[in-house]
Structure 1
Amino acid sequence: MLSKHLESNVVFSKRVSSWEEAIKVASEPLLNKDFINQSYVRDMIENVHKYGPYIVIMPGVAMPHARNEGGVIKTGISFLKLDTPVLFPEEKEVGIVIVLAAEDSSGHMDLLSDLSSLLIEEDIKYKLENAQSEEEIINLIKMVE
């Protein structure tokens, strides 16, 4: 299921200027497909300003998301891999940003569960951090689905 959600939603970037820009860049595939709108991107950024870097779910990985208050049109995820990690608040270094957009809380929990089981595998996380193509990332995810 996760690999299907990621098709054509993977972005690679050498570097970004800030964690806010990282969230914006990571959101672009979902914006371009009309899965989310700009208000959802603003809500994700605002959450970090309000609550701190709780979206950094493990070293090197951030999962921005927000409550759907009209900003999510269709459930989806997107994946940004940065060559040069960006600093989130509290000096948390992040090289992978996975935007989670869910129409409702149950879809949110299913995607979170799938992502967590994937990222808990240190070998898979390492391979994701070193992947060079969308195909490589999707194939890695398919292996563990």
Structure 2
Amino acid sequence: MELLTTSRLILQARPAPWSDLVRQSAALLERDGIVSADYVEAIFASFERNGNYMVIAPRVLLAHARPEEGALGTGLSLITTSEDVALGDGAGVPVRLFFTLAAADSSGHLDLLTRLAEVLVDEASFQELVTTNDSGRVLQMVNPS
């Protein structure tokens, strides 16, 4: 099952405020009925409470909230940007990959997270993910087999 689809993928977007990119990434899931509007608000409430813990690797943000906060299904969206975007005020933490993950339960997304970790720790794969315009390649790289 593909958790990331071409309809939930935007590659090499122009830089924008980080919060706009997170909202846009989450809106891709909302449009597909994977999350409710409450889920998007829960993501931002979590940022306020917990800071930048959703930055899971250098230049990688994995926005998410708890399943009971509006996850209606399991899915992933991704926006890549053509330049680093500062997360937070001032210089902030640089981010290029804006993922949003929704999980309807505690286990349906674990294979996806394992696959994502494999891609992010491999420098060549990470660089390809950051720079590519090929949506088919991104789906091949990120979705579990």
TM interval, shorter chain, is 0.7 to 0.9
Identity %: 26
Report the TM-score, using the length of structure 1 for normalisation: 0.87
RMSD: 1.9
Q: Distance in 2 between matches of 1:123 and 1:23?
A: 25
1:54, distance to aligned residue in structure 2 (A): 0.5
Unaligned 5+ segments in structure 2 are none
1:70, distance to aligned residue in structure 2 (A): 4.3
Q: How does 1:14-29 map to 2 (within 5 A)?
A: 14-16=14-16, 18-29=17-28
Q: How does 1:116-127 map to 2 (within 5 A)?
A: 116-127=117-128
Deviates more, 1:101-110 or 1:38-47: 101-110
1:27, distance to aligned residue in structure 2 (A): 1.4
Task: Give 2:138's aligned residue.
Answer: 137
Q: Distance in 2 between matches of 1:27 and 1:134?
A: 18
1:107, distance to aligned residue in structure 2 (A): 2.1
Deviates more, 1:88-97 or 1:27-36: 88-97
Indicate whether 1:33 and 2:32 are aligned: yes
Q: Distance in 2 between matches of 1:113 and 1:43?
A: 24
Q: Distance in 2 between matches of 1:24 and 1:74?
A: 18
1:115, distance to aligned residue in structure 2 (A): 1.4
Asked if structure 2 preserves the Cα contact closer than 8 Å seen for 1:52 and 1:89, the reply is: no
Report the TM-score, using the length of structure 2 for normalisation: 0.87
Q: Distance in 1 between matches of 2:109 and 2:97?
A: 19
Q: Distance in 2 between matches of 1:110 and 1:52?
A: 26
Q: Comparing both structures, which one devotes a greater share of its residues to helix?
A: 1
Q: Distance in 2 between matches of 1:70 and 1:49?
A: 16
Unaligned 5+ segments in structure 1 are none
Q: Distance in 1 between matches of 2:71 and 2:58?
A: 27
Q: Distance in 1 between matches of 2:110 and 2:140?
A: 23
Deviates more, 1:61-70 or 1:108-117: 108-117
Q: Comparing both structures, which one devotes a greater share of its residues to strand?
A: 2
Q: Distance in 2 between matches of 1:121 and 1:70?
A: 33
How many residues matched? 141
1:56, distance to aligned residue in structure 2 (A): 0.6
Deviates more, 1:49-58 or 1:81-90: 81-90
Q: How does 1:51-130 map to 2 (within 5 A)?
A: 51-89=50-88, 91-130=92-131
Map Cα deviations across residues 74-133 of structure 1 (whole Å, 9 max, x no partner): 100011111122211371100101111000121243332221122111110000000113
